[in-house]
Amino acid sequence: MPRDLKEYKVFIASPGNLQPERTEFRDVIEEYNKHEARPRGVEFVAVGWEDTFPGVGRPQTIINAEIQTCHYFLLLFWNRWGTRPVAAKDAAFTSGSEEEYHVALQCYQDPEHPLRDIAVFFKGVDAAQLNDPGPQLQKVLRFRKRLEKERRLKFHAFDAKEEFASALRGLLGKWRRDHEDGCVVRRGSQIGGASLRPIPSEAGELGSPTEAPDGPNRALIDHAWSLANEGKLTNAETLFAKAISRGDDPEAFRSYGAFLLRLGRRALAGVMFERIVELAGEPPGLWHAIAYGNLGLLRELSGDLVQAEQYQRKSLQIHEQRGARDRITTVHLNLGIIAKRRGQFSVAEAEFREAAALALEIGREETVSQAYNNLGFCIGSQEILTVLGKCTAKRWQSQTDSNCTSKSPRHARTLELLVPRSAT
């Protein structure tokens, strides 16, 4: 018997140079509907200018009318602002996307209107363009700065199509949960603009290397971080882009990479950290170790724990050759975190014990606390797995003694569920 679905229309507005993202928008919504939304009685309907039917009157007016029927609105910009709508009545609108945004904003501000959320996305612009923006990009940057100052709407920055898709899935999940909870809160008014995410406490390599000499861009980088911490992210990124324009300052690339990573822009952050390795040359030294540590953190945040460990061990080898005990301690803590996430609790225990011992010797009390907290989790997890393993073995023996001499697929599956694959 067909199940009634509650439909929510999601409109996407953008200039014409974001066609791959517009296609991804539709693909992600269809995938989410199939696996998450429809089984829960919800259907998200992708809507854009492509879906508007021809009619009498100004084309933009027909698109605006479509927006007024929607529940959610997405706006995407990259390096182009767009062109002025044909026969625009309001000269203040210099592009179709801008006019569509203002139509959506009016609906959003009307408590009687069904439009519940507005999300704005900015695709990252390369450093060369930021250093010399043309008229189109200047308009995009001005709009982004305005959103940062107003702090009334949620917006995201991304570099890779996969990052856009991940953020969109997150929004769809929130909207679906709102439906399930009967919540009609207008999220945009509750959440400010993009902000720097805190550095994970164990991610020491993101910090500036105090033993390295100041680079040629020290004052510029310090100013960029000051702006970033004030929430002026567009101005901050412009300064970071200027800092790397010389092309020979590892600290500039490290700082820009750390800034991007804290914004969730992992793809471009990785490019910055890899550039440090290229600049550092041979033999491997401090900057190599820092770059590898940051690449390890990036891979860990992306879920690639195998490569994360490989990068961290390359970093550890260099720090050990240099005798940098403080950094060695940090890498052992990072390796313990990775092993714990992989379910390799005995490996994690050894790493945490090493980190705690080194931290005690050099007086890093916070690291000692972090290591022991994680160590307690690993020991507890191993004890639980041991007890569960013994209980499962007893049940297995009882089953084979009473029924058959071969392994039961059902109990084999139980063992697989109880013990993570990576721990065996």
Both 392 and 269 in one domain: the answer is no
Q: Which of 143, 164, 189 is the last residue of a domain?
A: 189
pLDDT in tens, 149-179: 888 887 899 999 999 999 999 999 999 999 9
Both 162 and 266 in one domain: the answer is no
Confidence label for 145 from pLDDT (cuts 50, 70 and 90):
very high
User: What is the span of the domain harbouring residue 389?
Assistant: 381-423
Both 399 and 290 in one domain: the answer is no
Domain tally, the chain: 3
Both 153 and 41 in one domain: the answer is yes
Domain membership of residue 376 (yes or no) is no
Domain with residue 181: its CATH number is 3.40.50
Both 10 and 157 in one domain: the answer is yes
Q: Which of 189, 222, 249 is the last residue of a domain?
A: 189
Both 135 and 259 in one domain: the answer is no
pLDDT in tens, 60-95: 888 999 999 999 999 999 999 998 887 655 567 899
Helix axes 218-229, 233-244, angle to 10 degrees: 160
Domain membership of residue 334 (yes or no) is no
- Cα–Cα distance list, 368 to 141, 329, 382 (Å): 44, 10, 21
Q: Which pLDDT score, from 0 to 100, does residue 201 have?
A: 44
The answer to whether the pTM exceeds 0.75 is yes
Both 23 and 136 in one domain: the answer is yes
Both 259 and 302 in one domain: the answer is yes
Domain membership of residue 337 (yes or no) is no
Both 166 and 51 in one domain: the answer is yes
Which amino acid, 417?
L
Q: Which pLDDT score, from 0 to 100, does residue 55 have?
A: 58
Q: Which pLDDT score, from 0 to 100, does residue 359 have?
A: 94
Domain membership of residue 13 (yes or no) is yes
pLDDT in tens, 238-249: 999 999 998 999
Both 175 and 101 in one domain: the answer is yes
- Mean per-residue pLDDT, 34-53: 91
Q: Which pLDDT score, from 0 to 100, does residue 422 have?
A: 35
Both 151 and 221 in one domain: the answer is no
Domain membership of residue 97 (yes or no) is yes
Whose tokens are 């290397």? That residue is 209
Both 185 and 220 in one domain: the answer is no
Q: Which of 323, 338, 360 is the last residue of a domain?
A: 323
Domain membership of residue 110 (yes or no) is yes
Confidence label for 140 from pLDDT (cuts 50, 70 and 90):
very high
